[in-house]
Amino acid sequence: MKTLEGVEWAVHACAVLAGLAPDSSLNAAALADFHRLPAAYMAKHLQALVRGGVLTASRGGRGGYRLARPAAEISLWDIQAAIEGSGPSFRCQEIRRQGPCAGYTSSRVPCDIACAFHEAEAAYRAHLKAVSIAQIAERVGVRYGPEGRGAFADWALRNGGTPIG
């Protein structure tokens, strides 16, 4: 039960992309450099986001990544699911069907323990689905303040992206 470090990187990267104009894009090297992260590994996570339908990639000169949908329609769960997979965290091994009482457990009725954990996971996912990357980008931008926002805009322009506002 440990959230992969790559999820954090991916959310930060998406938050940066949410601060750019819809037709603007940034490459993996720029997204990694913004937080001083290893470019090659960041690229790996960005590929996973493309596979998960969160980002779209364009190759060639002045290519890069951009959000596949409006930032308001991308939730934190979408990002985590793209990196870690959307399957359940608790995978029932059905060990109840082994041992002296195995014959008395109906295979049609789901395991009570697995059900309890799956409900808890559903609550977890519901919370993440309620938070969009647009909200995150908004809050981070507010925290930056006017000067920080200007610095972000400068950096984006230097790296081929067109910031919003």
Residue numbers 27-86 binding its own copies by CB under 8 A:
33-37, 76, 80, 84
119: contact with DNA by CB under 7 A? no
- Here the tokens at position 64 are 């890069």
40 contact choice in DNA, its own copies, none (CB below 5 to 8 Å, kind-dependent): DNA
Round to whole Å and give the CA distance between 94 and 40.
40
Residues 139-158 that bind its own copies (CB under 8 A): 139-140, 143-145, 147-148, 151-152, 155
One-character DSSP codes across 73-102: G-BHHHHHHHHH-SS-SS----GGGSSTTG
Residue 60: both structure tokens together? 């060639």
Distances (CA, A) of 46 to 58, 106, 155: 12, 44, 20
Integer Cα distance of 83 and 142 in angstroms: 27
- Judged by CB under 7 A, which stretch of 37-45, 99-107, 116-124, 145-153 contacts DNA? 37-45
Interacting residue with its own copies among 22, 44, 72, 127 (CB under 8 A) = 127
User: Which residues here bind DNA, judged by CB under 7 A?
Assistant: 2, 4-6, 27-29, 38, 40-41, 43-44, 46-47, 50-51, 57-65, 84, 160
